[in-house]
Amino acid sequence: MTWTCEQIEARLTDYLDELMPAEERREFEAHAQSCADCAPLLASVAGLLKNLHALEAIEPPPRLAYNILNQTLGPRAQTKGVRSTFGWLNNLLSMRFAYGVVSVAATLIILLTASGFSFRKPKLADLSPVNLYRQADSRAHLAYARSVKFVSDLRVVYEIQSRLSKDNNELPTEPESTMPRSTPDKDPGSTDSTKPGSPKQQNRANGLSRQVEVLAAQLPPVHNVWGAQWFGRRIR
Amino acid sequence: MEQDAQLVQQCLQGDGSAWEELVRRHTRRIFNICYRFTGNGTEAEDLSQEVFLRVYKTLGSYHSAHGGFATWMTSVTRNLLIDHYRRTKRDRVTDSLDDAMPVVENKESSARRPDQQALLHELSGQVQTALTKLSPELREAVILRDLQQLEYAEIRQVLDVPEGTVKSRINRGRIELARILHQMGVRPS
């Protein structure tokens, strides 16, 4: 009998669970192992079964059986004597309890510090609700006032900067013919022709020279030649 | 099985220790069925408790005609799981693991190397993820056959369907599960 792929797929479980007669099993294998579609299918399902059978049972939580018996038979017998008195101490050994204690302590320290309690010179009176409230209130107001001052300082600085940049941009410009020319070899602001000034110095010098040139253009003409030459040298 | 039947009789006569023994014997198995079906440890715990509560209340209705006590209990578990699935179908957005897998701790696992144990744990998680993607019909068939190692006759009793249907569901479930695991990148060992 020649098996088709559909038949192989339909009888895969019978083959893997060894429920097939020997003859059928041989015919099944003859097709499954030589078919390009059936061979990978057989391999993957066989591998899956191997994995499934290798899985171990999962252990239920210990309290499950206890809860079941509690619900069905009623509350279990309570421990008596020393164990019942000090049994709760076992819970203190858990990490969860330790984390909880540390978190609570950290929160209290932060709150007390924020409310003005001094750990160096602690006073019992500082822990009274009225004092705590007053301290917290004054600190809150102080923090608010400081933040307001900081913001207003920032605003002032910003306004000054914006006005300065505005003034620099509004400086009038004159046509070049009326402006005295500077020496091409020597840049204003530099004292030594071999060492150029820093960019900051250069900018400041350029700004100053521009302002001086504007002022010079506005001054009345000097008819005395010597005076003109002297004045020209001074403004370069 | 005979021991279970004896314990049931003792329970019906009011013997609390017999019930304790039954709980001790079947808790692990019922929890595993519930966990493998739901993929959620907390839900599995709650459902396991419900199963035992229901079994305790209806213990008088158990009869040997129902098959073994374990089979009857599995049937109760399966019905509860299906009811739970239908009830929570609307609330479920994706069939994915909601919490970390419970740790497998038993004698066989302690004898293994840590790397082998880690691989097995990873595989278990991958199989669980793939199982939750199967339809409930195929999922329960694969769980009962390949994880609980029940015989076809027992599964037929639990699911209350003909044996041909059982085989067909197991076959389709296995093929679908292998396809899902292949898509997840899990290669057969």
The answer to whether domain B1-94 has CATH 1.10.1740.10 is yes
Q: What CATH code would you report for A1-78?
A: 1.10.10
More confident residue, A124 or B92: A124
Q: For the purposes of burial, counting CB atoms within 10 Å of the CB of A82, is it exposed (0-12), middle (13-18) or buried (19 or more)?
A: exposed
Q: Which of A74, A66, A53, A76 is nearest to B27 (CA)?
A: A66
Cβ neighbours of B177 in A, within 8 Å? 48
Domain chopping of chain B, boundaries: 1-94, 111-189
pLDDT tier for residue A224 given thresholds of 50, 70 and 90: very low
List, for residues B3-51, the tens digit of each pLDDT value: 888 899 999 998 899 999 999 999 999 999 999 999 999 999 999 999 9
Distance from the A98 Cα atom to the nearest Cα atom in chain B, whole angstroms: 23
Domain chopping of chain A, boundaries: 1-78, 100-157, 181-235
Cβ neighbours of A10 in B, within 8 Å? 171
Q: CA A169, CA A160: separation in Å to the nearest integer?
A: 14
Q: Which residue of A has its CA nearest to B186?
A: A48
Average pLDDT, chain A: 76
Q: Tell me the two tokens of residue A45.
A: 């399902």
A171-200 burial, b at 16+ Cβ within 10 Å, e below that, comes to eeeeeeeeeeeeeeeebbbeeeeeeebeee
Fold for the domain defined by B111-189: Arc Repressor Mutant, subunit A (1.10.10)
Residue B120 confidence (pLDDT): 80
Best residue in A56, A63, A66 for a mutation probing chain B (most B CBs within 10 Å): A56
Q: CA A63, CA B22: separation in Å to the nearest integer?
A: 16
Residue B98 confidence (pLDDT): 45
Residue numbers of B between 96 and 155 with CB closer than 8 Å to A = 101-106, 108-109, 120, 123-124, 127, 142, 146-147
